[in-house]
Structure 1
Amino acid sequence: MKHRIVVLGAGYGGSFAAGILARRLSPADTEITVINAEPDFVQRLRLHQFAVGQEVETPKLADVFAGSGIRLRLARVTAVDPDRRVVTVADADGGGEIGYDTLLYALGSHVADSGVPGVAEHAFDVTGRPSALRLRERLDTLDKRAEGGNVLVVGDGLTGIETATEIAESRPGLAVTLVARHELGARLSAGARSHLRRACDRLGITVVEHTSVEAVEATRVLCADGTVLASDATVWTAGFAVHPIAAVSGLEVTETGQIVVDRTMRSVSHPNVYAVGDAAYALGDNGRPLPMSCASAGATGRQATEAIVGRLTGRKVTDIKLVYVGNHISLGRRDGILQLVDGEGRAKPKYLGGRKAARIKAGVLKMSLWGVMHPTFGMPKRRRRLTAAPEVAAEKAFV
């Protein structure tokens, strides 16, 4: 029997990791299966662009993994049983159970309503392609109205800033308001905050600061201080939440449902399970939890694959740097901010803004997509074999 590696999720973290494992492990004694609910690779970092009507490439996962030896199973994960080492899935054929020897959990995250009434019923979000398409259709409807419409973006994190500026630039007939819990761009340096504010002024975005939202209704938002803001489309970007599957599976998780992992991204409760990306509670080299981000997905994914390959082939596990160096923020298509942070996660005084920052952000996204679409790039002629028969190597890997 071959050693069965199952990857849950084909976002940035899952796709990258599956490709690395396929490049480095011999297919003679390993088989890699990726389970994903959708047939396409979704560029989540560009969903705010898709929402405003721009074309965003969505390659077919079947084409992405063609020739790599990776098996693709299009199905929705409904349960994980880490004691029996099986995953339960649902698909058009009725689903079933898929067994594994090593599990790589990369199911990512979705929008968090934070318990605010009305978010689930009335708000839009850009954390998935279906929800971004729903927002796109709503913006199309508002654009056709003679009076236009009010778009309210709640949350001034990276997603909120990028969504508000993208809508304002691409849909100038709509009035855009950005609601910030604290000062706009509070985590940025003073210079970057000023640049962000100038961008909002240039794009005609109304900024409401130091405001918390208590409820979302169909045509308005109610704030904690009693303020009522009219809204024809409320976009909720105030945080992310992970899928509850891990929490109910018996894996050790945090209060937020993230899987608690060690330095190698291995579950502290079930050593045959690894978690990467938003689903993992991983401490960076500075001792702080890595933030939910594409950069964290890349670092944790590389560390997990190093650990899996090292343990299965009897080699030393390489430590990947787990650092968060900064934020790339797009402010429409022609402006941006590149803000570096120090070892404690605090913004450094200097920043890069304007067209150059926007081009760097676009370049990073292009490189990320290219990496996903070329999983066999650099594949060696001879890939590493397991140190023993697959079943023996599996037991060694989990000691």
Structure 2
Amino acid sequence: MHEIVILGAGYAGMATAVSLAGRTRRRGDVRITVVNASERFTERLRLHQTATGQELADLRIPDLLSGTGVELVTGWVTAIDTGAKRVRVDDEREIGYDTLVLALGSATDTGAVAGADEFAYTLDSRTTAEALARRLAAPGTKAVAICGLGLTGVEAAAEIAERHPGLDVTLIGGGAPGAGLGPRARRHLDRVLDRRGVRVRGGVRILKVLPDSVEISGGETVPADVVVWAGGVKAPALATAAGLATDRHGRILTDGTLRSVSDPAVYAVGDAAAIEQGYGTIHGTCQSGIPTGVQAAWAISRELDGRAPRPFRFGYLHTPVSLGRRDAVVQFTRPDGSATRFALTGRAAVWYKETVSASPWPTYRRLVRNPGPGRLGWRRGGTFTR
């Protein structure tokens, strides 16, 4: 029996699991196990909604995996022994593997600035987002500072300002919000933030997070009852601790087929992998995560059949950004992620963004039924494109 163990059931991990289940369902010599901290699927694309007290769909991983033959083990991965090919769960149970897929995602890097880990909230999980929602709704909360001008920070700022119009919301960081968007999309984003009453402090360095404020360059302090940290991410330390080759963010270095360059029994997908393309390293999004999971499943199934895996190629299509429930912007991109002149704003963008956010779960169901080329843009020759 060839044991395949997938660590993590986020966007990329679930894509790997269901695609592998579909590809190997006629084989009797393969067993697939998924290890995840919870039975509930976390819609990370929607955590800014959870952070404002909105109820999301209760998507259950066992429901999706029912009938696929995939076993779900609920628990925290605490160690990986690549020499013995074993994974430790909750420091109590060990699971052996022949092929390991790391899909543990990433977490907000709160270690870069003093006080962020101690005093700031993050949008890493349903648990942390719910804790933020409770704090925002607590009596006496008046000012919120969101550290980080990337899309996570922008979406959080717009959502909080819309759901809690009485709060003073400040968005802080270097550069400007929506820096990677085209001119039309940036103008719309700026107008919406201004209409929501969000103050933007761009072009500054965040020096320290305190219980009641954020220190920034220039000797200034931004008062805040609540601080949300959305400045950069890092992969879990498990891969580095296991001796796998990783980059400075802890992501596993992979070859063209998403196999670890230091261990042929290990694949990495989604935010856990440092995946190089001609234009640079892929940045972690649902848009790229699901295709990496499908690629890993395809590569593993080819390997099981005695065929060589083929390389992965990916091109971006769009950058959808929600700006609360009633507004959004969608920037269409070139394959390298750079902005084109085409963008959607307003209601059309809201519909588009919601369609994108709701698409992973139906996609997984389709992959169970049909994991082959065509469903996700596979080209003849086996590379993933737009």
- TM normalised by structure 2 equals 0.92
Cross-structure match for 2:356: 364
The amino acid that maps onto 1:97 is E
| Aligned equivalents of 2:54, 2:369: Cα separation in 1 | 29
Structure 1 portions without partners, runs of 5+: 381-399
Alpha-carbon RMSD across the aligned residues, in angstroms, is 1.7
Paired residue secondary structure (2:222): strand
CA shift, 1:27, in A, is 4.5
SS, match of residue 376 in structure 1 = helix
Tell me which residue corresponds to 1:384. none
Residue 369 of structure 2 aligns to a residue whose secondary structure is: coil
Aligned residues of 1:265 and 1:282 also touching (Cα < 8 A): yes
Cα distance between partner residues in 2 of 1:256 and 1:196: 29
2:240 equivalent in structure 1? 247
Q: Aligned-pair distance for 1:379?
A: 7.3
Pair 1:342-2:334 in alignment: yes
How many angstroms apart in 2 are the aligned matches of 1:292 and 1:121? 25
Corresponding residue for 2:78?
78
- Per-residue CA deviations over 1:126-146 (Å, capped at 9, x if unaligned) read 1111110110110110xx44x
Gaps of 5+ in 2: 373-386
Range moving further from structure 2, 261-270 or 315-324:
315-324
Question: Which residue pairs with 2:181 in the alignment?
Answer: 188
User: What is the distance in 2 between the residues matched to 1:326 and 1:288?
Assistant: 17
Q: Are the structure 2 counterparts of residues 18 and 376 from structure 1 closer, same or farther at C-alpha, using a change threshold of 3 Å? A: same
Q: CA deviation at 1:191?
A: 1.4
Correspondence 1:126-137 to 2 at 5 A: 126-137=123-134
For residues 263 and 378 of structure 1, the distance between their equivalents in structure 2, rounded to whole angstroms, comes to 24
Distance 1:358 1:137 in 2: 26
Instruction: Work out the number of aligned pairs and report it.
Output: 371
> After superposition, what is the alpha-carbon deviation per residue over 1:274-328, rounded to whole angstroms, capped at 9, x for unaligned?
00000000012x3410001111211211211111011111345354431223311
Query: Could you say which residue in structure 1 is the equivalent of 2:321?
Result: 329
Q: 1:373 to 1:345 in 2, by over 3 A?
A: closer
Specify the code of the residue in structure 1 equivalent to 2:72.
L
Tell me the equivalent position of 2:64. 64
CA distance in 2, matches of 1:61, 1:302: 17
> What do residues 212-237 of structure 1 show as CA deviations (whole Å, max 9, x unaligned)?
11100111110022110000111100
One-letter amino acid of the counterpart of residue 43, structure 1: E
Match of 1:3 in 2: 2
Q: Write the letter of the residue equivalent to 1:327.
A: T
Amino acid at match of 1:371: T
Q: State the TM-score, normalizing by the size of structure 1.
A: 0.89
Shift of 1:180: 2.8
C-alpha distance after superposition, 1:90-110 (max 9, x if no partner): 1xxx62211101101100011
Q: Which residue of 1 aligns with 2:383?
A: none
Amino acid in the other structure paired with 1:120: D
Deviations 1:229-252 (A, max 9, x none): 000111100011110000010111
**Alpha-carbon deviation of 1:196?**
0.7
Letter in 2 for 1:135: L
| Aligned twin of 1:176 | 169
Which of structure 1's runs of 4+ aligned residues deviate more than 4 A? none
SS of the residue 1:311 aligns to: helix
> How far apart in 2 are the matches of 1:343 and 1:10?
27
1:1-399 matches, within 5 Å, as: 2-25=1-24, 26-90=26-90, 95-141=92-138, 144-145=139-140, 149-284=142-277, 286-315=278-307, 317-372=309-364, 376-378=368-370
- 8 Å contact kept, 1:65–1:375: no
